[in-house]
A and B are shown apart, each in its own frame.
Chain A
Amino acid sequence: MSKKIVHYINQFFAGVGGEEKADIKPELKEGVIGPGMALNTALKGEGEIVATIICGDSYFNENVEEAKATILEMIKKYNPDLFIAGPAFNAGRYGVACGTIANAVQEELDIPVLTGMYIENPGADMFKKSLYIVETGNSAAAMRTAVPAMANLALKILKGEAIGSPEEDKYIARGIRKNYFAKERGSKRAVDMLMKKLKGEEFKTEYPMPDFDRVEPNPAVKDLTKAKIALVTSGGIVPKKNPDRIESSSASKYGKYDISGFNDLAEADHETAHGGYDPVYANIDPDRVLPVDVLRDLEKEGVIGELHKYFYTTVGNGTSVGNSKAFATEFAKELKADGVDAVILTST
């Protein structure tokens, strides 16, 4: 008999709609929808998706507790053998939703779970320790490689087979150490590694150091009334018509724009270039993302010293960590040189 699987996908992969539908509440559909079809085929009759749960990415992330409770109830009545979420690729809100719900199903319903996403998806960092997350490419174009990898791991879980190493079974390392018998003793392996290192050859460590990239908080601003405050956003606010053509996703650049002539951002002069959220509200009033109006008021009232002449902006939608780091490293130097005392960074 084939094992029962419940599948979770977002509004986009369900074909309900794009960002304008990102606020839909969880819905339960019998059978298989969207990427579930390919998964079903790859499971070769040994597992079958019996129901699909669809939820809008914004709804899930803005109403985590309600969404979680509703979805857990939906899953309960099927009592599946496995729960699969995604794959979410590099879609941030989708990845966080997949990780959050999969984690809840595992913890609260005690049902095995599986998801898939790109290594830079914020959901990966949040949940890689507790979940099997198959490592996928960064866009839905990678579906063809994601499906077989997820099906492979799904079958192993369903059959109760031993799960291999992250490399073997293509999931993101969970930081679990397993004992095994190596062919050679540790001292020999260590010397071999050292020899390779001395020769400048490539070698593979057996214990990669975890990457704790934390930055200590700076001291607080002492006197706001004398402080120069700058605005930065990943929400894609740009002057009307996006003069530098910042991309709507996977941005390769940032913009620096003069706001000294503006007391208030409006539909006529600014808009958002961001392709990862419904742009309607930000386009009607860009202050909803970049609060220039309020900061001008506070400047006039003397609450803050001044609002910096320029704001910096990019589109934080599938934009690589590498690019974002490079952008901010560059403009942070300018902010420093311009005597900015503090930054307010807004994200959508």
Chain B
Amino acid sequence: MVKEIERAGIPVVHICTVVPISLTVGANRIVPAIAIPHPLGNPALDASEEKSLRRKIVMNSLKALTTEVEGQTVFEE
């Protein structure tokens, strides 16, 4: 899906936990996530901490979208 969105001319960032799969699939902008069943959350945290964790990942993905890349790039925090 990532590739078809990119092919349509829309920049896309892939937030995912298993980065090697994303690299194999061919995503260009990749942001690592927390865990498979909760990529943008952590049930061990309290609600406000969890939301700020989620915000951090989303902000990182926005950074990825506003960064010019040549080929596949993983945006670690």
Which A residues have a C-beta under 8 Å from some C-beta of B?
19, 22, 58, 61-62, 92-93, 96, 122, 125-126, 213-222, 224, 227, 229, 232, 234-235, 277-282, 284-285, 287-289, 291, 293-295, 297-298, 303-304, 314, 316, 324-325, 327-329, 332-333, 335-336, 340-348
Q: Within 8 Å CB of B68, what residues of A?
A: 219-220
Known: A58-B35, A288-B39, A347-B16. A342 touches B10 (CB 8 A): yes
| Interface residue tally on B, bucketed by range | 35 or more
Find out whether the CB atom of B37 lies under 8 angstroms from the CB atom of A327.
no
Taken together as a complex, chains A and B put the C-alpha atoms of A92 and B25 apart, in Å, by 12
What is the distance, in angstroms, from B54's C-beta to the closest C-beta of chain A? 5
Find out whether the CB atom of B58 lies under 8 angstroms from the CB atom of A234.
no
Taken together as a complex, chains A and B put the C-alpha atoms of A329 and B7 apart, in Å, by 9
Question: When A and B form their complex, which 9 residue pairs have the shortest distance between CB atoms, in order from nearest?
Answer: A288-B41, A328-B4, A332-B8, A217-B28, A328-B1, A347-B16, A281-B38, A218-B11, A343-B12
Find out whether the CB atom of B14 lies under 8 angstroms from the CB atom of A277.
no
Contact with A along B35-58 (1 / 0, CB 8 A): 111111101000000110011011
* Interface-centre pick from B5, B10, B68 (highest chain A CB count, 10 A): B5
- Residue from the list A122, A280, A284 in contact with B24, Cβ < 8 A: A122
Find out whether the CB atom of A293 lies under 8 angstroms from the CB atom of B22.
no
What is the distance, in angstroms, from B23's C-beta to the closest C-beta of chain A? 8
Q: Within 8 Å CB of B69, what residues of A?
A: 217, 220
Find out whether the CB atom of B1 lies under 8 angstroms from the CB atom of A291.
no
What is the distance, in angstroms, from B8's C-beta to the closest C-beta of chain A? 4
Q: Within 8 Å CB of B37, what residues of A?
A: 19, 22, 58, 277-282, 348
Find out whether the CB atom of A346 lies under 8 angstroms from the CB atom of B15.
yes
- Residue from the list A92, A216, A297, A344 in contact with B13, Cβ < 8 A: A344
- Residue from the list B17, B22, B36, B54 in contact with A294, Cβ < 8 A: B54
- Residue from the list B17, B62, B70 in contact with A217, Cβ < 8 A: B70
Q: Within 8 Å CB of B39, what residues of A?
A: 235, 288-289, 346-348
Contacts A61-B18, A340-B10, A344-B15 aside, 6 further interface pairs with beta carbons under 8 A come to: A126-B24, A278-B37, A288-B39, A344-B65, A346-B16, A347-B39
Closest to A230 in B: B10
What is the distance, in angstroms, from B15's C-beta to the closest C-beta of chain A? 5
Q: Within 8 Å CB of A289, what residues of B?
A: 38-40
Find out whether the CB atom of B41 lies under 8 angstroms from the CB atom of A61.
no
Find out whether the CB atom of B26 lies under 8 angstroms from the CB atom of A346.
no
What is the distance, in angstroms, from A7's C-beta to the closest C-beta of chain B? 23
Find out whether the CB atom of B58 lies under 8 angstroms from the CB atom of A294.
yes
Q: Within 8 Å CB of A222, what residues of B?
A: 66
- Residue from the list A295, A316, A335, A347 in contact with B5, Cβ < 8 A: A335
Find out whether the CB atom of A304 lies under 8 angstroms from the CB atom of B51.
no
What is the distance, in angstroms, from A24's C-beta to the closest C-beta of chain B? 14
What is the distance, in angstroms, from A237's C-beta to the closest C-beta of chain B? 11
Q: Within 8 Å CB of B41, what residues of A?
A: 281, 285, 287-288
Taken together as a complex, chains A and B put the C-alpha atoms of A214 and B51 apart, in Å, by 34
